[in-house]
């Protein structure tokens, strides 16, 4: 309670509303304009603090709203806020009508120091002026009330506000001043802080967002105002105890509108309580009792509204998190299934529903064994479930990643599912291609061996035929009967030798066949497919394959499988060459580029130790090998294949840091046959 003179202004509400409307944009104003707004608000609330009645010749008011304005300014104002605040606050009290400035100077200064102490403590603590959390509101009320209590005790101890000396003076002054100051802080500071940060338009539901909410707010405030005025004989009868019923609409507003509604309702409560004093004066004891009641209702309303706002904020955050989780689950291409402690499905995303042929509602509550009969959920693991059971009874292979939750969600299991039918089929096709390539390689090896044997055996056969001719010329000196027998035998030997020679020539020509099987293909695609076949072996040996073509590559007309076999042979030789090296990231680089108008070249470079000089001249000889278990036919076969296609295979580079093999192919300029 504070003592002043004068009469209440009938236009204070409109002026206050106009001032509050400028608050959300205050942080965008220039610093001096902020000071002007503070001073204007201080003057306006000074008008609101005009007395509602006179007791023992002294004007009394139930609140000191200028305290709330000052605390708000010291919390959010610039560094010079204390200087501006003390001058404006002390001046406002000193120049009040009917007040002696020398008597008002010391109490106003002590009140300012109390408010400054509260602001100082709050600004140096983890205090959020937006009052988003209930703890921030509790900090504001507790620290500000304590600081104002110290200032009020100092004022009372100096004999201001009471005529009794000693402790009686302090007690009387404290009861008449501290409650009014705290009431002003409780009523004004939270309202201005919420308005300052533009939060009065937020909350549950947003105030005045629609006609129904506007009507509800109007009814709530009208009920509150009516109860307070009725307790002051505003309607021709005195119902002092009716004031306590004002807590009902305050609680209603707090529950429905949160902290935003609470700040407005507490302001309306205190303002109406002051106006009610104009209708019927009350004794000092009754006035103080009602003042304490309104202060208690105001604090309770703010705390209840803060808790309601916090609950709404948590609910909104939870709904937002659930929305994000639902969006993630819906967008995931992998199936996601969440199980409870009993291994029942409590959540499933559309990908998992499509995987098993269920609609979402039908999958809820089912045991996971209905979908994955062989699943084990012991720990975190990745496994392939062979029997993922669809709703129509068919089975599909499913790769399952199992994760278990911790903390409050202990016992919850999250399954990430991926159908691997296509991957398994792709791996099957790749294995089939590798097996086919190995079969072709064995056939080519046999063919090369036959060609080499034909080359080696043809000369002895020719020699046999020559010796037979010599013998046939010499048998003329033998007796007739013996001559005929030997001639017949030698003729048969010569015929068989010539027949064997024809067979060898036929075998040697076999490798040059296949012209009709050649097709026009893109070279980069051919190389990429060949490297796909080598990729599994390379990964097992921890070797990286780097394909670095000089695009665009021309087309070539080849027997596709044979050229793929050449590339595989060169890549495998490169892998073998790097087995004994200690590179941290062993890499085989495969290049392809056009080297002239008619020819394209493919290179395979390893990071091995190179090829011994003594072995360079014999690399492409049949049956020559430096490998303990090699047959010595890989490079020979590869060269034969490349040459049959009109190209060449050579050792392009050789050093202690690795070897580079290169083969060329003619470019095909025609259309595909």
The pLDDT assigned to 60 comes to: 54
Pairing, β 381-389 against β 395-404: antiparallel
DSSP 116-145: HHHHHHHHTTT--TT--SHHHHHHHHHHHH
Q: Closest Cα partner for 29 from 84, 78, 92?
A: 78
The pLDDT assigned to 3 comes to: 40
Distance CA 418, CA 400 (A): 7
CB 192 within 8 A of CB 68: yes
* The dihedral formed by the CA atoms of 276, 278, 280 and 286, expressed in degrees to the nearest 10: 60
CB 189 within 8 A of CB 195: no
Residue where the block lists tokens 């021709």: 236
**Contacts of 263 by beta carbon, 8 Å cutoff, 6+ apart:** 190, 191, 194, 200, 302, 305
- The secondary element (H helix, E strand) that includes residue 98 is none
Structure-token pair, residue 580: 């004994």
Structure-token pair, residue 566: 């050449």
The pLDDT assigned to 592 comes to: 92
335 falls in which pLDDT band (50, 70, 90)?
confident
> Please, what is the angle between helix 421-474 and helix 480-510, to 10°?
150
- Beta strand ranges found along 390-428 (DSSP E): 395-404, 413-419
Over the range 247-257, which residues count as b (16 or more CB within 10 Å of their CB) and which as e?
bebbbbbbbbb
CB 579 within 8 A of CB 627: no
Distance CA 261, CA 288 (A): 26
pLDDT mean over 120-127: 90
The answer, yes or no, to whether residue 552 has pLDDT greater than 90, is: no
**Contacts of 478 by beta carbon, 8 Å cutoff, 6+ apart:** 486
DSSP 2: B
The pLDDT assigned to 53 comes to: 44
Distance CA 120, CA 71 (A): 10
pLDDT mean over 442-457: 62
334 φ, ψ (degrees, to nearest 5)? -85, 150
- Mean pLDDT lowest for which of 170-174, 190-194, 402-406? 170-174
Q: Closest Cα partner for 574 from 622, 600, 538, 602?
A: 538
pLDDT mean over 551-566: 85
pLDDT digit string, tens, across residues 395-444: 888 888 887 766 555 678 888 888 777 777 777 777 777 777 666 666 66
Distance CA 277, CA 55 (A): 11
List Cα–Cα distances, 448 to 441, 451, 624, in angstroms: 10, 5, 13
Burial of 57 from C-beta contacts in 10 A (0-12 / 13-18 / 19+): exposed
SS3 call for 209: coil
Q: How far is CA 1 from the centre of its chain?
A: 55
Structure-token pair, residue 495: 């015929």
List Cα–Cα distances, 384 to 145, 340, 373, in angstroms: 66, 22, 12
Structure-token pair, residue 39: 């001073």
**Contacts of 186 by beta carbon, 8 Å cutoff, 6+ apart:** 68, 141, 266, 295, 298, 299, 302
Distance CA 530, CA 524 (A): 10
CB 642 within 8 A of CB 569: no
52 falls in which pLDDT band (50, 70, 90)?
very low
pLDDT mean over 511-529: 73
CB 607 within 8 A of CB 581: yes
DSSP 382: E
The pLDDT assigned to 672 comes to: 45
The pLDDT assigned to 95 comes to: 63
Distance CA 172, CA 191 (A): 30
2 falls in which pLDDT band (50, 70, 90)?
very low
**Contacts of 509 by beta carbon, 8 Å cutoff, 6+ apart:** none
The answer, yes or no, to whether residue 571 has pLDDT greater than 50, is: yes
Q: Closest Cα partner for 452 from 500, 501, 507, 499?
A: 507
List Cα–Cα distances, 26 to 32, 41, 52, 602, in angstroms: 11, 13, 32, 72
Edge-to-edge strands, sheet with 658-666: 544-549, 587-594, 599-605, 658-666, 649-655
Distance CA 106, CA 158 (A): 9
- The secondary element (H helix, E strand) that includes residue 556 is strand 555-558
DSSP 517: G
The 3-class secondary structure across 332-375, one letter per residue, is: CCCEEEEECCCCEEEEECHHHHHHHCCCHHHHCCCEHHHCCCCC
pLDDT mean over 34-52: 71
The answer, yes or no, to whether residue 303 has pLDDT greater than 90, is: yes
SS3 call for 604: strand
Share of the chain above pLDDT 70, in %: 66
- Beta strand ranges found along 563-611 (DSSP E): 587-594, 599-605
Mean pLDDT, the chain, rounded, equals: 75
Structure-token pair, residue 547: 């394909």
The pLDDT assigned to 543 comes to: 87
186 falls in which pLDDT band (50, 70, 90)?
very high
pTM confidence score: 0.55
Angle (CA) 582 588 594, round 5°: 150
**Contacts of 385 by beta carbon, 8 Å cutoff, 6+ apart:** 372, 374, 375, 397, 398, 399, 400
178 falls in which pLDDT band (50, 70, 90)?
confident
């Amino acid at each position: 309670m504070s003592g002043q003179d004068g009469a209440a202004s009938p236009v204070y509400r409109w002026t206050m509303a106009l001032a509050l409307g400028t608050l959300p944009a205050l942080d965008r104003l220039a610093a001096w304009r902020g000071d002007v707004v503070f001073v204007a608000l201080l003057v306006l609330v000074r008008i609101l603090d005009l007395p509602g009645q006179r007791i023992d010749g002294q004007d009394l008011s139930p609140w000191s709203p200028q305290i709330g304005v000052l605390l708000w300014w010291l919390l959010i104002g610039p560094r010079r806020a204390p200087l501006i605040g003390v001058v404006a606050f002390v001046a406002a009290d000193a120049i009040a009508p009917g007040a002696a400035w020398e008597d008002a100077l010391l109490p106003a200064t002590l009140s300012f120091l109390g408010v400054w102490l509260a602001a100082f403590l709050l600004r140096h603590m983890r205090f959020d002026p937006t009052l988003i959390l209930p703890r921030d509101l509790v900090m504001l009320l507790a620290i500000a009330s304590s600081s104002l209590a110290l200032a009020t005790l100092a004022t009372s101890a100096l004999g201001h506000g009471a005529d009794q000396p000693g402790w009686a003076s302090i007690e009387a002054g404290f009861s008449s001043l501290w409650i009014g100051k705290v009431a002003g802080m409780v009523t004004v500071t939270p309202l201005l802080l919420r308005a300052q940060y533009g939060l009065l338009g937020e909350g549950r539901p947003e105030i005045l967002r629609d006609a129904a909410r506007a009507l509800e707010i109007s009814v709530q405030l009208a009920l509150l105002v009516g109860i307070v005025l009725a307790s002051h004989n505003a309607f021709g009868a005195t119902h002092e105890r009716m004031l306590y019923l004002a807590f009902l609409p305050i609680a209603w507003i707090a529950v429905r509108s949160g902290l935003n509604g609470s700040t407005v309702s507490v302001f309306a409560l205190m303002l109406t309580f002051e106006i009610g004093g104009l209708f019927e004066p009350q004794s000092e004891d009754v006035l103080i009792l009602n003042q304490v009641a309104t202060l208690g209702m105001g604090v309770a309303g703010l705390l209840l509204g803060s808790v309601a706002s916090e609950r709404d904020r948590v609910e909104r955050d939870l709904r937002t998190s659930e929305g994000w989780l639902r969006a993630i689950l819906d967008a995931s291409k992998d199936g996601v299934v969440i199980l409870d402690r009993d291994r029942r499905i409590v959540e499933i995303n559309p990908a998992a529903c499509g995987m098993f042929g269920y609609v979402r509602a039908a999958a809820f509550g089912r045991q996971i064994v209905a979908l994955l009969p062989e699943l084990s959920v012991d720990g975190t693991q990745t496994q392939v479930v062979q029997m993922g059971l669809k709703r129509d009874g068919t089975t599909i292979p499913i790769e399952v990643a199992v994760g278990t939750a911790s903390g409050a969600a202990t016992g919850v299991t999250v399954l990430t599912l991926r159908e691997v039918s296509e991957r398994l089929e792709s791996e099957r096709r790749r294995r089939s291609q590798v097996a086919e390539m190995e079969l072709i390689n064995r056939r080519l090896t046999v063919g090369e061996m036959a060609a080499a044997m034909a080359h080696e055996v043809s000369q002895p056969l020719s020699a046999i035929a020559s010796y037979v001719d010599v013998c046939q010329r010499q048998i003329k000196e033998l007796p007739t009967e013996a001559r005929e027998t030997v001639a017949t035998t030698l003729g048969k030997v010569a015929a068989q030798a010539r027949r064997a020679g024809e067979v060898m020539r036929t075998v040697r020509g076999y490798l040059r066949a296949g012209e009709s099987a050649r097709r026009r293909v893109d070279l980069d695609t051919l190389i990429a497919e060949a490297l796909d076949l080598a990729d599994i072996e390379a990964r097992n040996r921890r070797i990286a394959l780097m394909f670095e073509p000089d695009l665009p590559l021309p087309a070539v007309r080849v027997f596709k499988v044979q050229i793929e076999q050449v590339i595989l042979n060169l890549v495998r030789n490169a892998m073998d060459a790097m087995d004994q090296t200690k590179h941290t990231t062993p890499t085989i680089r495969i290049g392809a580029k056009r080297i002239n108008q008619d020819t394209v070249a493919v290179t395979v470079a390893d990071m091995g130790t190179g090829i011994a000089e003594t072995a360079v001249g014999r690399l492409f000889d049949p049956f020559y090998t430096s490998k303990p278990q090699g047959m010595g036919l890989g490079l020979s076969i590869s060269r034969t294949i490349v040459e049959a296609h009109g190209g060449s295979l050579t050792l392009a580079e050789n050093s202690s840091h690795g070897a580079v093999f290169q083969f060329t192919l003619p470019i095909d300029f025609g259309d595909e046959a």
